[in-house]
Amino acid sequence: MSVETGIENISTILVIGAGTMGRQIAMTAALAGYATTIQDISADGLAAARAELEGWAASRVAKGKLEKAAATAALDALAYSTDLDEAAANADFVIEAATERLEIKTAIFEKLGVLAPAHAILATNSSTLGSSKVAAATGRPAQVCNMHFFNPALVMKCVEVVRHGETSDATVATTMELARRLGKEPVLINREIPGFIANRLMGAIQREALFLADEGIASIEDIDTTARTALGHPMGPFALMDMVGLDVIDFIAQATHAETGAAEDAPNERIAALVAEGKLGRKSGAGFYHYA
């Protein structure tokens, strides 16, 4: 039986996973005044997260974009732990941002069902896996949903809240309100669909852009220019894919195609070839474009 949880009951947040998304989600929560713990099985990963967040805060203060007192308060609100048992014990709201592998997520949510307080909401940041895949393992499926942040989470305003068939209205309402209190603009997806909203819209644009380039109709540069100057996009689809990471784009396509089996959702051969060459976009120095 689920325990109804209101926003007033949330003061402590646990973020599982110290990678790029996890650490930025945690800092977003800390800046909003929540006592926040980042949990990861890697002590080195936690150390890297701490160093990056401290550097980010110092840079924002130096540029006059963040008050020193606010930065200090946020950093003081952050805790780091390799012990999931301890970290989950007092969590009012959990956001899982671990590796996008179902068996790993299922094991985490099964543990959370036992370790987290009865009132805690358990959310996954997954951009590809609906929370219905892990909900039953918790023993409290009504308190499980997706809370999908976008990279970089400290900047991007959108959060996709996705309910599955058993997610309660109280869980949805609390998750939406928490997103607002984190300074985000949440959107509600009423039933699971592969890719949710943003990835489906982005995927449709990317497929057409790739078609235009593959057919020699226009260059990658000119397609990107058109998206920026005619449609008002901040960057073109190829530049965006390079920023996200071509390995991530390929993984999303694989996961979506595995769910739908639709030909239009199949991974793109050009992207797969670039990934095979180690050209992953900005993070590797080359993708559709070359980066210094």
Contact 195, 203 (CB under 8 A): yes
The span from the CA of 201 to the CA of 206, in Å, is 9
Count CB neighbours of 211 within 10 A. 11
d(CA 18, CA 128): 19
User: Which one of the listed residues 2, 132, 160, 192 is annotated catalytic?
Assistant: 160
Q: Which of 127, 132, 146, 168 is labelled catalytic? A: 127
Residue 268 bears catalytic tag: no
Candidate list 148, 164, 168, 192, residue with the active-site label: 148
Active site residue 127: yes
**Is residue 160 annotated as part of the catalytic site, yes or no?**
yes
Active site (annotated) includes residue 185:
no
Tokens of 14: 């646990």
Helices (H), the chain: 20-31, 43-62, 68-77, 84-88, 102-115, 132-138, 169-181, 198-214, 220-229, 237-244, 246-260, 269-276
Peptide bond into 152 cis (omega under 30): yes
Rounded to whole angstroms, the Cα distance separating 174 from 10 reads 9
Question: Distance (Å, rounded) from C-alpha 70 to C-alpha 13?
Answer: 18
Catalytic residue among 125, 131, 199, 268: 199
Residues with a catalytic annotation lie at 127, 148, 160, 199
